[in-house]
Structure 1
């Protein structure tokens, strides 16, 4: 019989946090690494055992939920978060061996050159681009969780090597001399595999992951639904494809992806989401709350986003009678350009029962 995690003690919360802070850190717009202690307490207050992380992003919150004993379903509309959560949340015991890493880092298994040709002169050195093609020639031969770890490590290696972790520019304007920016991708990959191997653990609970629109999730009742939707910022944008298109393509070797050859960055075609636009986000949030009205909803939201906290509370109030709002001081930036200064904002955690 599944035991509720609502009775988690302080020691259990601290133990889950100790695991979660070891999670390999991907620099990702809206990531909740700094809010993990607040989220852990909110999750421990929910009476239940099954949880959905509907907008998984970097995967760290899905991993925290696993560490707190939940049976986790992780979802994101991009592909690479599903690879990360498959490697760290769904996977309970599998790791990549040193011999397997040596093979991936060794001579190529075939003569593929898609990355070398397509991204010639962009982002990385010729040797790094050659390594990415070669690595994928071996990753294609892996199966299951081993493949997921390898893809996750490759994605994180590419993100760490690229200044600011985003692919909206192709030059070295942000090269500040950090080791990550000059370490060869082959060496990055070896280190990132160690990072992912280190966080594999058996929670004793079956978890799953998927990639798709939140509104296409199969009808299922969860005890807890965590929502961290893309914010509609008052300025700039929240276009994840624009920032992370290379990671998205790399996670599937660009199979099934529409590459925009005429763009300087060789980005992917933008995926529509109603959460990105001021004119559609209120309806999108309302539909999401209605979709999960039978679950306890825990939602993260920023005071710097649209709509405001009062509107969020009203929308939740249409489907829930008990709404708690916890306000946390937080530094956050929506952009990576020179005018997007990190500024003090309030991060809200709504708990709607």
Structure 2
């Protein structure tokens, strides 16, 4: 029996309960890594253990980010609703969680990397001299000329692959600087063209697709607008409000946000060096508004079976405050501290900071 058939058989065998943790972790290990602030790739074993212990059938990943936790939840057997206020996370979860069977074929890829379907040049013009060379920028325009002709999951896979290609090619994966020459250290991700990246990234996303026989949902929106529904598990991984500055995802990932929608409906700040998009306000990003935002969110999902939340020891508020807020809606609150090292940058001299990552489990 082929491995894909074996895995499909396994998921159907456990369709009325959670999939064994080891099998879910093996599946999740296939998920492509997007460099993303606060990403939970390294914490997946801890999260899977908590999710398995909490149990249930329907789960909400309210701040989906890189998409890996939504994918883990699907791999563990939950029916998943995935939400984020940016568009590219929703494209990723649409491609990997909602999608049950569609793949980009070799013919699809040949078309996507082939001659352009029209003469668009928005990226080439708007980002002239920024981030990528002329060949790479022209490829992004050309790829989108074909993506606009796609629909359904194939479109989502293509967008996800394009986003991941840009993130891998850009040093550190963030778009807060325009001169990447100081990071030109010969790493493979920096030397591949975006066209070459795209072919590899499509293969990675294709490999994540599996049918678990359930219906999943990907949403782009503010968490405050989500209906509480009847979730058994609500996983919260909000931006970690720092002691100073803010947790501004748009500032760091504006290019990925624009690329996911070909900048449709996005307002570029033309006078900025990075050509960033006007950021969306979120109360979770600021220390002056985070406590009220958390309190409102806990109240919103008070009827869920369990609330599981990730938060960092170097963010505001502290663990004691979060426990107090959770106890207003759930009688039992557990705190699991996990030693964790965040890496700021991907080059050899990158700054690494050890912190405790807290997992709060309220039920």
| TM bucket, shorter chain | over 0.9
CA positional deviation for 1:335: 7.9
Distance of aligned partners of 1:136 and 1:272 in 2 relative to their CA distance in 1, 3 Å threshold:
same
Q: State the match for 1:57 in structure 2.
A: 65
2:308 aligned with 1:305: no
2:93 aligned with 1:80: no
Q: State the match for 2:7 in structure 1.
A: none
SS at the partner of 1:83? helix
| 1:203-261 CA distance string (max 9 Å, x none) | 12111100000001124120000000000012443110000000000000000001111
CA positional deviation for 1:339: 11
2:57 aligned with 1:44: no
Cα separation, 1, equivalents of 2:177 and 2:161: 22
Q: Among 200, 207, 219, which residue is 1:198 paired with?
A: 207
Structure 1 unaligned blocks of 5 or more: none
Q: Among 271, 277, 292, which residue is 1:262 paired with?
A: 271
Cα separation, 1, equivalents of 2:134 and 2:147: 20
SS at the partner of 1:318? coil
Structure 2 unaligned blocks of 5 or more: 1-13
Cα separation, 1, equivalents of 2:164 and 2:343: 21
Cα separation, 2, equivalents of 1:68 and 1:80: 23
Distance of aligned partners of 1:215 and 1:339 in 2 relative to their CA distance in 1, 3 Å threshold:
farther
Cα separation, 2, equivalents of 1:335 and 1:108: 34
SS at the partner of 2:242? coil
Could you state the TM-score of these two structures normalised by the residue count of structure 2? 0.93
Q: State the match for 1:291 in structure 2.
A: 300
Distance of aligned partners of 1:228 and 1:171 in 2 relative to their CA distance in 1, 3 Å threshold:
same
Q: State the match for 2:356 in structure 1.
A: 346
Q: How many pairs align?
A: 348
Q: State the match for 1:175 in structure 2.
A: 184
Q: Is 1:2–1:49's contact at 8 Å kept on the other side of the alignment?
A: no
| 1:24-45 CA distance string (max 9 Å, x none) | 0000000000000000010001
Cα separation, 2, equivalents of 1:319 and 1:229: 18
RMSD: 1.8
SS at the partner of 2:179? coil
Could you state the TM-score of these two structures normalised by the residue count of structure 1? 0.96
Distance of aligned partners of 1:336 and 1:102 in 2 relative to their CA distance in 1, 3 Å threshold:
closer
Q: Among 276, 279, 292, which residue is 2:288 paired with?
A: 279
2:247 aligned with 1:238: yes
Q: Is 1:237–1:335's contact at 8 Å kept on the other side of the alignment?
A: no
